[in-house]
Amino acid sequence: MSDIELTDREHLIAKEAAKLAIEEMSSEFYKKIGKTVVEKFLIGVGLLVVGFFVGKGWKIGRAHV
């Protein structure tokens, strides 16, 4: 692969650093996926509530004062 020779200690440090980087990246990825899922769920709930109000004949919008 490479002409650079690593000591056992350097190899272990590099391996641990790579492991930590992968854990951090996957953690960020799942946080973003979770946020997207929650946002879509809340949008769906909002649409259901609006549909319920419209179905009952209630007016949604600005109140006429």
Prediction pTM value: 0.47
Q: Report the pLDDT value the prediction gives residue 6, as an integer from 0 to 100.
A: 79
pLDDT of 61 higher than 70: no
What is the total residue count of the chain? 65
> DSSP secondary structure string, 10-62?
HHHHHHHHHHHHHHHHHHHHHHHHHHHHHHHHHHHHHHHHHHHHHHTT---SP
For 10-27, write each residue's pLDDT tens digit.
989 999 999 999 989 888
The Cα–Cα gap between 49 and 15 comes to 51
Higher pLDDT, residue 11 or 58: 11
Residues 6+ away with beta carbon under 8 Å from 50: 60
For 18-57, write each residue's pLDDT tens digit.
999 998 988 888 888 888 888 899 999 999 998 888 888 8
